[in-house]
Amino acid sequence: MRSGLLTQRLLALVAVHLTLILGLFLVRQIVDLPSGFGSSQFSNSAELQALSTDRLLELRDGVDQDLTRFIPGYLVVGLAAIAVAVSIRSFQRTRDLVTVVALLLVLGVLADVFETILFARSLDQALTGPTASSLAVQATRVFFVVKWVALVLSYLVLLVLVLRPGPTRGS
């Protein structure tokens, strides 16, 4: 009986990771973000000013891809991973963890949206003015950190949801 529960948890762990890996791979294939887009969001004002107009416009186009395809795409993948975990675990006994995972995922997504909007503002300022606003750049960095903390915590709580002792469906 105990080895059966362990096998179910390990299969659930594999299923959740396959959902995440394959889902994020597909999202990345669908979305055409410019190379270095993510790291560019962490650039300071001087680094943005040093970029060519063509590169700034390329990054600005990446903002639209990020907001309309990439962020919604990884939100759907995250929700799918939660659904896989819930389909294997007894929802009645894991409702609190499911809620925490979902809230952390949504917090990460919202922080990413704000980060990307602020990055767009910094790019627009770099395109039109002599200097990009350091306030927008600093706020972008804050949202970058909030996003990654929330997404990593969401993943860790998802692992707890899958591996935590307790009943699985059908047990």
Instruction: Report pLDDT digits (tens) over 62-72.
Output: 999 999 999 99
In a domain, 169, yes or no: no
In a domain, 108, yes or no: yes
What pTM, to 2 d.p., does this model score? Answer: 0.88
Give me the long-range contacts of 79-84 (CB less than 8 A, separation at least 24). 79/105, 80/19, 80/23, 81/16, 81/19, 81/20, 81/23, 81/158, 82/158, 82/161, 84/12, 84/15, 84/16, 84/19
In a domain, 170, yes or no: no
Instruction: Write out the residue range of the structural domain in which residue 32 sits.
Output: 2-163
pLDDT tens per residue across span 36-94: 998 898 888 888 888 999 999 999 999 999 999 999 999 999 999 999 988 876 656 67
In a domain, 171, yes or no: no
Count of domains observed in the chain: 1
In a domain, 168, yes or no: no
